[in-house]
Each structure stands twice: as structure tokens, then as C-alpha cells.
């Protein structure tokens, strides 16, 4: 076969169209259509070719030896016809339009509660663009679908083989045309994200590409619009229900749609939509390749097994059943070459699905799948068809014993009746003519059903806050009948009832979270959500359930459950706590949410409380199982992927180090990632991540200092490298307009806070001094930050800094930019927290000195600047202001700021003619017991001096020195001076005694204070 680059088959082959010339059962129908085309079109033209081509497609599909069963996904009529045909034909081989690599998973459906989706997942791609990763393909399966009936029959009937013949998951993306900005999800019927449902359950499939059997929807926009307008319906799901489901699913009286009629009608619809679809679209080309692929696989299987085509059944979408490719049929040509798969490793599993997820992914109307499920249940009661169901299937209403009895009877051959069996219908007979000429069957009005709907919707509306009453129920009942009559229906459909309920109840307001349309969808069957059983879960998910078993919760149950962990009384719950913290790190928000307790470096809670919704996020847990066999392995892989990724920064790597220490407690992994952080830091040329780097380095350094005897080698190397790195970048960052003041402040915070450790490791402080000296910023906030750095280095005094702030307020041209200076000062609290009092003084001076005409327009800018630029540093500023300012409003008038108060003098002054103030003398005489207690404690005895013994008032310390000379001598020896005691003629003050006894005492004291 000729090939084109890229492994894709050629597109230059013309499709083979069957135009039989001999007499066929459809000859009469062809003649009628020719006459109709001539009448309406005025002569032979394209219309005649289209109409005759429809008949040719039906004739060709009907005469195929391998029976083709066309279906429409989520169609109760297709599911009912499938169950009926399987019991009649009992085929030995069932060919199913589903990705062939998903076959091993189908046996696990019996361990699940439908709806679920079969998923193929690839996290690492090989052969596809890296931006496509992760790749995901899902095939949703509901109980009211024809493919589930075929699967259940094939898996539970001995001797029956189920063969999946559609392209593999790998080929789904091989044939994907990303270059044209079209995804295979759109080719399979998906809608853009903006048009999907808003319910949380609508996202159960995530971003997966959907594979659907039997996608029947007009691909010609004008055709769909024409059908909806003339059918008097709102959307395609309603049209299909009214004009296809009801006629094909009806089995009342003589109007039963038998197997041959069902097949021919579905062939006709598929051919109609196929012939009216655009012929040059990428979707048509992919569909043709899929048909070639499936027929090639079926012929290979027939040739390998020697199975008779009469014993086989081919289940596919009606669109593919009316195929015109050359490879169609058992006798088709073998010119299609299947390309090999790529080297991508695919993982397979089952994930929960829901009606809303199916509707959102495949572009169906909201509630259509739920209505189809309800119609399926009603159809089974009306037709008495016994459906197939996998043995042990979860979620059924009947007991296991009844289910086993049903399947046992299904496996037994049918009993021979006394009367002759009815003759086998002729597949080639023309059933289309009678079906198309038959007038529509008008179902009688089921008043009891409609009345029950009306009462139920009013009850649901009242529970959701609507002011609905019995009168509204009557109005809904009558309006439903009226709408059905306006749309040429004798019996109101669920869609008519939904419109009537919205009109009569919702009025113009929605009081609650759900509107009336959503309430009708819930009432008609609700959004049924599937669940994957424990046996069908991957090993990782089963391991999580096993390790959380001590909690005693039903983790597979949907909804939020509260878990209480007391690790003191039950130490075994510590392992559960470790699992929950890792799940919180790996799963989406809400799957495991801590209510009480936290886990930080060096801290572990002894009691915890959790809200768990693991059953609700079962899909996310299952997809974790595709990445590893345990959550520890998955977490380590993700940490490595984050740290070694092409977009990894130093802050990202340090975060991975922290998580490895926090969740895995792996010193080996932490050291490896920390060493890698050194390499990443050396390659960075910007300071964007400086605040995050500073925060994480501080936390890690504090943790290792308290928990390890010595710091890890990578931490010491990181501090040395970071000190030199940020010193090099500091002058450039001060001048760079893109570098924010917070980032520059974080750099200075790293340099100043790590300075002592860096200097002990061999760094040179002169490098930092030179970097600050070479910095010349233009931005006011960075200028203020530079001043603070110079204060910290000692090259600028606090007095000079205060003088510069005063000069800014004195300059009218600078006053408008003063808030930016304050922003820089507030950011400076990160590297220089000791400047908090200066910042408070700067703000206070601005409010005290600026007039209202300047201050009021300037105030909003100040508030927004401080809030946006330094919100995390505001608490430090507020604490300092609370320490300085008075705590009571009454004290504010007499309060003098510390920076304006006069400095306190060392001694009290005295006026002329007054004696010197003797501090403490009056207090000692007033309370002699205190002095006696202190003397007794010191081990000295003595008597109180009489007033007449005092020659003149003087300092009390002179007598004490004379009474205890050893103390004075000891102090003299300590400060390194000697001397002799003074005589009686020397002054009696303490200073005079010390000076006379030790003449060099003053110089010694000054030297001692200088050394201190």
C-alpha cells in the first residue's frame, strides 16, 4: 500500500459505492425516491443521487454476510433491540467498536457500579509532543447502552468470544490533528470546556479524550438547525428521543419495531448523516480510517479462527455501519496497513463516571442521559425484555441469588415449545418502505404518570426554597399537555414537562443553588454516579484503603466523612496520619482536608481531625495508581520531576527538599535534591524567587539546627554559594526596574541573616560591603532600602538616617514620593528588623508635619502601597507602634514622643542654697527592716547611725566603703589598679573616696567599658 510520511494511510483512494443493477428488495423504494426527487427538484440532480445513495448504503449493509448491528450510544431503543437480538441469535463471536487495547479491563466491570469509564492513561509520552502529556482516553459505559448488553452477554455466556476491533488508544493520538487546533475529543462529539456542565460531577473524566460507540448527530450545521426548527424541539437529544427513540422503541400493538426494521432505519439515519457531512474535514478522514481498521481486524480474526461470519455479530455506531470504504465487508480489499504503535507506555484502569460527565464530554443536553436511563427502565417493563447483566454486578436492585438465577437461565439453550417457532425474518426484505409510510403513532396520555411528575416537582421545588403550591402542580400538568399539543404530540415528553415546570414554577428568580430545570433532571433519574469496586482498583488505591482501615470509615462512599485521630491513645493511627498528609499533597483539594492539626518542619500533632472525600475523588486516586505501586513512590517521583524539570527554580527545588523531609522523612532524597539546588542557584540570573528562597532556607536551617548534631554539607554549601551569589547580583538588582523592592529586601535578608554562618564558613564580609557601596538605585523605595542596609553595615548612623527622613519631608518636590520611601523602610524590616522604631518615627513625623491639603490626597497612596507591598511585615510595625504610643486615649495629649523627649541627666540638679538631694536615704530610714534583711543576707552586722553622729549630710555610700574596705579593694584588683585609703581630711563622697584611694580608677573604668 502506498504510504505518506508520518505513517498515515493515503487519502487518494476513492470509496467504493455499491450501485446494484440487479433486482433487489429495495427496487420499489428506489423508484419512489426517484419520482420524489423529480417532483421536488424538477428533474434529476444531486438530490436524486443523495436519496438513491441512501438506499444503496442500506442495501449494501443489509446484504453483508457478517451481521452488522448499528447502535446509538445511550439509546434505550438500541439497548432493548440489542438484548432481544442476542437472545434470538446467540452469536459465538461479538465484534465491538471499542479500543482493542481495553479488552483486558472489561472483566472488571462486574466489580463496579455503573456508570464507569474504561481509561487508558499515559503520563510519560514517547513519540508524541511533550506538551500533550498526560494522555488519557476514556470510554464511558452505562447500563442502558447497547455495548454493555453485548459485553455482559459475551463475558457471562460460555463459548462466546468478545473481540474489540477499534483503533488502539495509541492510534487515537497518532491520528490526532493538533496542528489544526482540533482535538479528537471534538471529533468524538465533545464540546469546549466553556460549554460543559457546571455540576462537580461533570468533571469526572477530566481532560480525557472520549471514545463513544454510535455517535449519531448531524455534522451539517444547517441540517441540525432545520431538524430542530421543524421538529419543534430545543436540542438534538430531544429530537432523537421524539423521532427515533419513540418509534423504534415502541412495541405496542402492531407497531412493534422488529429487528429488521430497527437495523434498516438505523442504517438509513447513519447514511443520511454521513452523506450530508462535509467531505473534506479531518473528522471524515479519521472515521474512514477507523472503518478500515475495524474491518481489517475482523477479517484477520475470521481468517485466524475460521469462524463462520453467520455466527458473528458486529456492534458499531450507525454512522460506521453505512460505510462506503473499499475495505467494507468480509469480502473487502486488504489494502489498509495498520501503523505500529508508538513507544509510549500505557496504563489501563476503570474510573468512576456519571451521567453529567458523559453529557459534558460528548456535547449532550443536560439530563438527557438520566432521561434515557429512566426510559430504559420503562421500556424493560413494557416490552418484558430480559436484559443481560454481569454476574455480581454492583448496584442492582435484585439480590445476588436472583441475578445468578437469571444468568443461569440465560446460559441455558432455549426450550423447544410445542408449537412451531415463528419463521426467521428475512434480513434483506424491505422494511423501510412500510416504516416511512406509517403515520406516527400517537401514544395515549398517561395522566397518572404526568400527575405524579407534577406533584413530585412541586415537592422538590418547595424543598429548594421555591414558593410552589398545589396550584403550581395543576399549572404544570396543564401546561405540559398544552406544550405537547403545540408540538404535535399527544403525550408530553419529559422535555415538555421540563419546559412547563420552568415556566410555571421558576418565574424570574432562583432562590437556591438549583434551578427548576436541574430539579427536573434529578427527579427523572438524577445524575447517577458510578463507583469502581475494591477488586478493580489498582494496587496503589487498594494499598491506601488497607492502610486507612484503622480509621473505621467507608472510604469508597461518596461525600465527606470526619476522621478523628488521637495518636496518644492509639499510636497505630500515626501511620494513618502519614498517609493522609501524603494524600493531601497528591490529591485534589478537598479529597483530604485537615481540620485540626498541622505538619511543619520539626512539629507533629498528637491529635488531628480530617474531612475525607476519597470516594468522591476516586478517579484521582486511581490515576495515582498509574504512576506507581505506592504513594511514597509516586510522591518521590513527583518531587524529582518538579526539581529536575526544565522550569525548576531554586525555590521549587527547596520546596521539594522540604516536602521530602516533611512527608517522606528521607534524608537521602533531601540531600540529593539539596545538592541539586546548588546547581540551580548557580545558573539563576534573576532575583524573582529570592523571597521564597529566603523563607525556605530559614525554615530548613532552623530545622536542621534543632534536629541534627551538625548541619548537612549541602546546607553549608548553599549558604556559602548563596552569599556570594546574592552579593554579585545585589548592585544589578538595585538598578533593575523589573526587580521589586520585596525581592531586593529578600536578598538583603538572606545576606544579613546568614552572615554569621557564611563568615564562619570562610566568606568575606568585604564582598557585601563592596556590593552595597556599588549600589545606586533610582527608585525611592529601593533608596530607602539601601539606607537601611548601610545602617546595618555601620556606614550610616541612625542620626543621619533620621536627618535624611526629615529632609525628605522638608522638600515639597519629594513629599509626593514619600509613601514609596516608607514602603522601602517597611521592606527593610525584613533584613534589618531593628529599624522598626525609625520606621514608626518616619510615619509619625509625616502625619504630624504635613498639612491636611498634602496629607489627605497622599494617604490613600500610602495605605495601598503598604498593603500591597509589605502586608506581611505590618505586624512587626504595629507591635513597635504599640510599644511606643500610649495605651490610653487620655494620655495622648500629654504624651511626648521618645524621639522628641530631652535626654535624661545622670544626676539631679539643685538650686542655689539647697543641700544636694540624697537618693535613697529617706527610703532607708522609713523602712529599716528591708536594709536589715539585706545586711543579714550578706552576712554583715551593724547598728543604725544616730542623727547627731552625722557631721553633715552626704552620700550614703562613703560610710559603707569605709566600713567594708575589702569590697573596694576587690573592685580595684578587678580593674587593675592599686592605692592606699584616704585620711580623715579627704572628702567623704563615694567618688572622692575612690579617687583618693585609687587615683587611676577613672582611667581603668574607661578602659574596661571600652573593651565591653
**How confident is the model over 296-309, as a mean pLDDT?**
90
Q: What residues does 609 pair with on adjacent strands? A: 564, 596
The cell numbers describing 571, all together, are 499510636
- Phi, psi of 868, deg, nearest 5: -80, -35
- CA distance readout (Å), 443 to 241, 253, 437, 446, 959: 14, 11, 18, 9, 124
- Can you give the pLDDT at residue 579? 92
720 three-class SS: helix
Distance, in Å, from the CA atom of 363 to the CA atom of 217, rounded to the nearest integer, reads: 10
Quote the pLDDT of residue 842.
Answer: 85
pLDDT above 90 as % of the chain: 13
Return d(Cα 650, Cα 643) in angstroms, integer.
9
What's the number of CA atoms in the CB half-sphere (13 Å) around residue 206? 20
CA pair distance 566, 569, nearest whole angstrom: 6
pLDDT score of 34 more than 70: no
Q: What is the pLDDT of residue 425?
A: 46
The pLDDT score that the predictor gives to residue 15 is 41
- 841: Cα separation from own chain's centroid: 46
β-bridge pairing 607-612 and 592-596: antiparallel
Residue with cell 432521561: 371
With 0-12 CB in 10 A as exposed, 13-18 as middle and 19+ as buried, what is 936?
exposed
The string of DSSP codes covering 106-144 is GGGGGGEESSEEEEEEESS-SSS-GGGPSEEEEEEE-TT
Residue the block writes with cell 490626597? 857
Q: What is the pLDDT of residue 639?
A: 92
DSSP state of 176: -
In terms of Cβ atoms closer than 10 Å to its own Cβ (0-12, 13-18, 19+), residue 844 is middle
Per DSSP bridges, beta strands 531-532 and 347-352 are: unpaired
Q: Of 244-258, 734-748, 811-825, give the lowest mean pLDDT range.
A: 244-258
pLDDT tens, position by position, 194-238: 334 455 555 566 556 655 555 555 555 566 676 777 667 776 677
Average pLDDT over residues 18-37: 55
Element (H, E) at 95: strand 93-99
pLDDT at 180: 45
Q: Would you place residue 656 in the very low, low, confident or very high pLDDT band (cuts 50, 70, 90)?
A: very high
Q: Which residue has the higher pLDDT, 716 or 522?
A: 716
For position 95, what pLDDT does the model report?
92
3-state secondary structure of 475: helix
What is the crossing angle of helices 818-827 and 798-810, to 10°?
160
pLDDT score, position 53? 72
Quick one: cell of 574? 500515626
State the average pLDDT over residues 831-841: 86
Q: Mean pLDDT highest for which of 146-160, 266-280, 985-999?
A: 146-160
Asked whether 483 and 500 are in contact (CB, 8 A), the reply is yes
**C-alpha to C-alpha distances, 563 to 302, 397, 600, 605, 808, nearest whole angstrom:** 56, 31, 20, 15, 59
Among 266, 212, 235, 9, smallest CA distance to 96 is for 212
pLDDT for residue 931: 78
Of 145-149, 676-680, 898-902, 916-920, the least confident: 916-920
The pLDDT tens digits for 320-353 are: 887 888 888 888 888 888 888 888 888 888 888 8
Termini Cα distance of the chain: 95
Task: Check residue 93 and give its pLDDT.
Answer: 92
Of 4-18, 560-574, 730-744, 870-884, give the lowest mean pLDDT range: 4-18
- With H, G, I as helix, E, B as strand and everything else as coil, classify residue 362: coil
- The answer to whether the CB of 149 falls within 8 A of the CB of 79 is yes
Please tell me which residue, 201 or 7, carries the higher pLDDT value: 201
Q: What is the mean pLDDT of residues 493-497?
A: 82
CA pair distance 929, 938, nearest whole angstrom: 14
Beta bridge pairs of residue 619:
none
Joined grid coordinates for residue 441: 403513532
- Give the residue among 15, 68, 571 at the shortest CA–CA distance from 298: 68
Average pLDDT, the chain: 77
The pLDDT, as a whole number, for residue 182 is 38
What the block records as the C-alpha cell of 231 is: 421538529
* pLDDT value of residue 582: 92
* Interval 395-416: pLDDT, tens: 555 444 444 444 444 444 443 3
327 Cβ partners below 8 Å, 6+ apart? 291, 292, 295, 296, 333, 334, 335, 336
For residue 496, give the nearest of 477, 483, 485 by alpha carbon: 483
Give the number of C-alpha atoms closer than 13 A to the C-alpha of residue 370, restricted to the C-beta side.
23
Percent above pLDDT 70 for the chain = 73
Amino acid at each position: 500500500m502506498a504510504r505518506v510520511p508520518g505513517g498515515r494511510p493515503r487519502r487518494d483512494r476513492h470509496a467504493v459505492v455499491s450501485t446494484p443493477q440487479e433486482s433487489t428488495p429495495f427496487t420499489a423504494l428506489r423508484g419512489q425516491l426517484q419520482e420524489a426527487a423529480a417532483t421536488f427538484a424538477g428533474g434529476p440532480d444531486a438530490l436524486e443521487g443523495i436519496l438513491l445513495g441512501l438506499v444503496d448504503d442500506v442495501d449494501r449493509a443489509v446484504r453483508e454476510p457478517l451481521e452488522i448491528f448499528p447502535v446509538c450510544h445511550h439509546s434505550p431503543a438500541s439497548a432493548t433491540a440489542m438484548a432481544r437480538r442476542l437472545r434470538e441469535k446467540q452469536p459465538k463471536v461479538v465484534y465491538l467498536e471499542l479500543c482493542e487495547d481495553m479488552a483486558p479491563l472489561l472483566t472488571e466491570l462486574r466489580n463496579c457500579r455503573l456508570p464507569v469509564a474504561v481509561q487508558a492513561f499515559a503520563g510519560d509520552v514517547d513519540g508524541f509532543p511533550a506538551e500533550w502529556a498526560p494522555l488519557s482516553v476514556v470510554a464511558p459505559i452505562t447500563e442502558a447502552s447497547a455495548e454493555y448488553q453485548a459485553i455482559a452477554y459475551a463475558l457471562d455466556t460460555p463459548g462466546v468470544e468478545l473481540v474489540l476491533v477499534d483503533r488502539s488508544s495509541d492510534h487515537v493520538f497518532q491520528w490526532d490533528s493538533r496542528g489544526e487546533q482540533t482535538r479528537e475529543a471534538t471529533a468524538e462529539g465533545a464540546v469546549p470546556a466553556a460549554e460543559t456542565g457546571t455540576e462537580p460531577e461533570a468533571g469526572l473524566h477530566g481532560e480525557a479524550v472520549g471514545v463513544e460507540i454510535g455517535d449519531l448527530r448531524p455534522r451539517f450545521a444547517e441540517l441540525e438547525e432545520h431538524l430542530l426548527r421543524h421538529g419543534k424541539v430545543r436540542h438534538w437529544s430531544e429530537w432523537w428521543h421524539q423521532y427515533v427513540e419513540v418509534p423504534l422503541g415502541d412495541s405496542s400493538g402492531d407497531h412493534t419495531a422488529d429487528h429488521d426494521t430497527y437495523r434498516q432505519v438505523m442504517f438509513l439515519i447513519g447514511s443520511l448523516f454521513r452523506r450530508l457531512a462535509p467531505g473534506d474535514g479531518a473528522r471524515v478522514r479519521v472515521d474512514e480510517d477507523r472503518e478500515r481498521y475495524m474491518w481489517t481486524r475482523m477479517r484477520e480474526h475470521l481468517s485466524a479462527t475460521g469462524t463462520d461470519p453467520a455466527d458473528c455479530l458486529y456492534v458499531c455506531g450507525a454512522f460506521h455501519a453505512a460505510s462506503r470504504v473499499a475495505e467494507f465487508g468480509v469480502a473487502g480489499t486488504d489494502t489498509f496497513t495498520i501503523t505500529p504503535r508508538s513507544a509510549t507506555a500505557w496504563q489501563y484502569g476503570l474510573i468512576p463516571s456519571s451521567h453529567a460527565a458523559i453529557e459534558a464530554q460528548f456535547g449532550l443536553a443536560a439530563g438527557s442521559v438520566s432521561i434515557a436511563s429512566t426510559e430504559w427502565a420503562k421500556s424493560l417493563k413494557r416490552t418484558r425484555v430480559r436484559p443481560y447483566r454481569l454476574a455480581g454486578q454492583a448496584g442492582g436492585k435484585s439480590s445476588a441469588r436472583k441475578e445468578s438465577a437469571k444468568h443461569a437461565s440465560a446460559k441455558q439453550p432455549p426450550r423447544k415449545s410445542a408449537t412451531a417457532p415463528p419463521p426467521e425474518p428475512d434480513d434483506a426484505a424491505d422494511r423501510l418502505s412500510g416504516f416511512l409510510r406509517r403515520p406516527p403513532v400517537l401514544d395515549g396520555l398517561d395522566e397518572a404518570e404526568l400527575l405524579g411528575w407534577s406533584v413530585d416537582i412541586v415537592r422538590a421545588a418547595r424543598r429548594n426554597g421555591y414558593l410552589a403550591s398545589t396550584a403550581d402542580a395543576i399549572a404544570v400538568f396543564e401546561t405540559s399537555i398544552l406544550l405537547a399539543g403545540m408540538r404535535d404530540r399527544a403525550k408530553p415528553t419529559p422535555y415538555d414537562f421540563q419546559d412547563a415546570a420552568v415556566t410555571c414554577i421558576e418565574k424570574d428568580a432562583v432562590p437556591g443553588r438549583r434551578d427548576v430545570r436541574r430539579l427536573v433532571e434529578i427527579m427523572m433519574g438524577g445524575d447517577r454516579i458510578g463507583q469502581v469496586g475494591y477488586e478493580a482498583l489498582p494496587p496503589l488505591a487498594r494499598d491506601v484503603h488497607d492502610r486507612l482501615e484503622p480509621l473505621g470509615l467507608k472510604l469508597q462512599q461518596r461525600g465527606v466523612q470526619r476522621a478523628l485521630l488521637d495518636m496518644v491513645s492509639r499510636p497505630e493511627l500515626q501511620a494513618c496520619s502519614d498517609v493522609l498528609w501524603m494524600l493531601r499533597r497528591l490529591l485534589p483539594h478537598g479529597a483530604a482536608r485537615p481540620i485540626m492539626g498541622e505538619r511543619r518542619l520539626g512539629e507533629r500533632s498528637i491529635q488531628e481531625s480530617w474531612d475525607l472525600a476519597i470516594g468522591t475523588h476516586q478517579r484521582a486516586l486511581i490515576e495515582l495508581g498509574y504512576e506507581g505501586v505506592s504513594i511514597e513512590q509516586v510522591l518521590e517521583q513527583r518531587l524529582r520531576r518538579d526539581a529536575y524539570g526544565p522550569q525548576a527554580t531554586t525555590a521549587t527545588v527547596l520546596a521539594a527538599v522540604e516536602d521530602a523531609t516533611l512527608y517522606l522523612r528521607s534524608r537521602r532524597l533531601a540531600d540529593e535534591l539539596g545538592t541539586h539546588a546548588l546547581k540551580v542557584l548557580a545558573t539563576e540570573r534573576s532575583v524573582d524567587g529570592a523571597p521564597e528562597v529566603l523563607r525556605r532556607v530559614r525554615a530548613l536551617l532552623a530545622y536542621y539546627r534543632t534536629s541534627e548534631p551538625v548541619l548537612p554539607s549541602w546546607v553549608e554549601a548553599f549558604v556559602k554559594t548563596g552569599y556570594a551569589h546574592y552579593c554579585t547580583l545585589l548592585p544589578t538588582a538595585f538598578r533593575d526596574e523589573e526587580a521589586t523592592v520585596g525581592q531586593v529586601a529578600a536578598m538583603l535578608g538572606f545576606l544579613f541573616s546568614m552572615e554569621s554562618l557564611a563568615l564562619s564558613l570562610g566568606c568575606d564580609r568585604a564582598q557585601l560591603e563592596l556590593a552595597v557601596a556599588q549600589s545606586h538605585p533610582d527608585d525611592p523605595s529601593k533608596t530607602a532600602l539601601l539606607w537601611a542596609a548601610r545602617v546595618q553595615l555601620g556606614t550610616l548612623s541612625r542620626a543621619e538616617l533620621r536627618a535624611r527622613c526629615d529632609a525628605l519631608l522638608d522638600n515639597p518636590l519629594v513629599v509626593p514620593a514619600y509613601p514609596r520611601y516608607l514602603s522601602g523602610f517597611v521592606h527593610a524590616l525584613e533584613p534589618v528588623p531593628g529599624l522598626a522604631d525609625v520606621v514608626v518615627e518616619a510615619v509619625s513625623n509625616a502625619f504630624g508635619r504635613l498639612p491636611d491639603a498634602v496629607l489627605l490626597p497622599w494617604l490613600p497612596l500610602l495605605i495601598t502601597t503598604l498593603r500591597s507591598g509589605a502586608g506581611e511585615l505590618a505586624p512587626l510595625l504595629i507591635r513597635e507602634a504599640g510599644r511606643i504610643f500610649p495605651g490610653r486615649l487620655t494620655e495622648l495629649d500629654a504624651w511626648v514622643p521618645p524621639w522628641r523627649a530631652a535626654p535624661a541627666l545622670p544626676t539631679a540638679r539643685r538650686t542655689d542654697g539647697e543641700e544636694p538631694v540624697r537618693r535613697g536615704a529617706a527610703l532607708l530610714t522609713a523602712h529599716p527592716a528591708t536594709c536589715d534583711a539585706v545586711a543579714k543576707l550578706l552576712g554583715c552586722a551593724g547598728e543604725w547611725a544616730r542623727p547627731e553622729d552625722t557631721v553633715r549630710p552626704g552620700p550614703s555610700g562613703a560610710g559603707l566603703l569605709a566600713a567594708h574596705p575589702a569590697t573596694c579593694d576587690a573592685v580595684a584588683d578587678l580593674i587593675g589598679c592599686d592605692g592606699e585609703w584616704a585620711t580623715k581630711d579627704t572628702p567623704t563622697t563615694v567618688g572622692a573616696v575612690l579617687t583618693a584611694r585609687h587615683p587611676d580608677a577613672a582611667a581603668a573604668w574607661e578602659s574596661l567599658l571600652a573593651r565591653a
